Amino acid sequence: MNDEQRLLFDAAVAVQAHAHVPYSKYHVGCALITDDGSVFAGANIENAAYPQGWCAEASAIAAMASAGHRRIRTLLTIGPGRELATCCGGCRQKIREFADADTRVISTCADGLMAIYTMDELLPDSFGPENLDVVADE
């Protein structure tokens, strides 16, 4: 792992401990870094009124956007066990809103195993803000 990946991994592990998962017991943590080096993290939050919960990626993105940032440079997700925690389809689209084709999305597991994708590899031919001819807020 390089320094940025280690920083994100450690932040994702730390927030993973705070996941609210009384139903699935599946703790997920996510951390992302913006172009200016700001780091934001989020855990999955389940709700008895399924599907009203939040994925860890959505929680981290919400923290980032709420702080005024609009671009993800790299995002890392960790789940429990030895299987890679990959982003669900809905989260891939949420990430895409704040990413470009080269944004790195890293899937990890508790053992540190990693798979690194670009946004374009995870969501090829994706639909994003530029498809609406909208100028992104800076």
Q: What percentage of the chain exceeds 90 in pLDDT?
A: 83
pLDDT at 134: 58
What is the fold of 3-124? Cytidine Deaminase; domain 2 (3.40.140)
Active-site residue list: 57
Inform me whether the pLDDT recorded for 4 exceeds 70: yes
CA nearest neighbour of 37 among 87, 12, 74: 74
Inform me whether the pLDDT recorded for 114 exceeds 80: yes
55-97 pLDDT, tens digit per residue, is 999 999 999 999 999 999 999 999 998 999 999 999 999 999 9
- Whether the model clears a pTM of 0.85, i.e. scores above it, the answer is yes
